[in-house]
């Protein structure tokens, strides 16, 4: 995957966001950002026994690794507000749905 990203971007990327939760996607997402200023945000939650293996130099070269758990969203206290915003058309979620699959 890093080779494809390098070909598409003529090198590396400034920012990377990983949303699958699969460790095999998280590591390349981190390794494809620029040394010195690259930032990767892990939005998803990996398996609790997954190991994040990378070269120590990737951290010494000032890449930044950030994580967010539910986007710093608290389902127990925030869900009502989110539903209300969606119902009042203040939160446009439908534009993010690009394709649907039937259940049967």
H helix or E strand, kind and range, residue 103: none
The CATH number of the domain where 14 resides is what? 3.40.50.720
Domain assignment present for 19: yes
78 Cα distance to chain centroid? 21
Q: Convert the pLDDT of each residue in 69-99 to its tens digit.
A: 666 677 778 888 888 998 999 988 888 788 8
In the chain, % helix, strand, coil (3-state, to 5) comes to 40, 15, 50
The confidence score (pLDDT) of residue 72 equals: 67
Domain assignment present for 56: yes
Q: Convert the pLDDT of each residue in 35-69 to its tens digit.
A: 899 999 888 788 889 999 988 888 888 888 888 76
Neighbours of 100 (CB within 10 A): 6
- Domain count for the chain, please give it: 1
Quote the domain boundaries for residue 64.
2-71
Domain assignment present for 102: no
């Amino acid at each position: 995957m890093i080779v494809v990203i390098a070909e598409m971007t003529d090198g590396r990327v400034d920012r990377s966001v990983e949303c699958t939760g699969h460790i095999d996607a998280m590591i390349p997402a981190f390794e494809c950002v620029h040394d010195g200023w690259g930032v990767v945000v892990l939005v998803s939650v990996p398996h609790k026994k997954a190991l994040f293996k990378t070269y120590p130099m990737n951290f010494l070269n000032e890449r930044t690794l950030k994580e967010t758990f539910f986007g710093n969203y608290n389902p127990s206290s925030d869900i009502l507000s989110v539903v209300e915003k969606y119902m009042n058309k203040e939160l446009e979620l439908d534009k993010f749905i690009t394709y649907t699959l039937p259940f049967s």
